[in-house]
Amino acid sequence: NSKVIQTPRYLVKGQGQKAKMRCIPEKGHPVVFWYQQNKNNEFKFLINFQNQEVLQQIDMTEKRFSAECPSNSPCSLEIQSSEAGDSALYLCASSLRGDTQYFGPGTRLLVL
């Protein structure tokens, strides 16, 4: 069973507001991934980290999204200015070597 913790479980924001969500990976897992799952069940990779360093990220993440995984603190994903199209389930996963991934319960974001 996954021990990845994500908070909050639900987040409601108005357009233009910041939306921040957090993830605590499984202990000892240096690799962290963020995904967005939309209402059509489609997953979109956003960004991943190895320890505190960004490994890969998509354009969307580079522009309006910011993410970090500081040492000894939860990882976070923040949308600087929320848009209606950002409404989705945001999933965090951690991994020991980047192969098998273990997911948290997700943060469901609703942008009104």
The terminus-to-terminus CA distance of the chain in angstroms comes to: 34
- Interface mask (CB under 8 A) for another protein, residues 54-83, using x and -? -xx---------------------------
The yes or no reply on residue 40 touching another protein (CB under 8 A) is yes
Nearest residue to 36 (alpha-carbon basis) of 27, 45, 28: 45
The yes or no reply on residue 29 touching another protein (CB under 8 A) is no
* 26: DSSP letter: P
**Is cis: bond before 8, omega within 30 of 0?**
yes
Nearer to another protein, 82 or 95 (CB): 95
Residue type present at position 47: I
Q: Residue from 27, 28, 39, 41 that binds another protein (CB under 8 A)?
A: 41
Between strands 65-68 and 53-57, the pairing is unpaired
- Closest approach of another protein to the CB of residue 65, in Å: 16
- Which stretches of the chain bind another protein, using CB under 8 A? 1-2, 31, 33, 35, 37, 40-43, 45, 48, 50, 55-56, 89, 91, 93, 95, 98-103, 105-106, 108
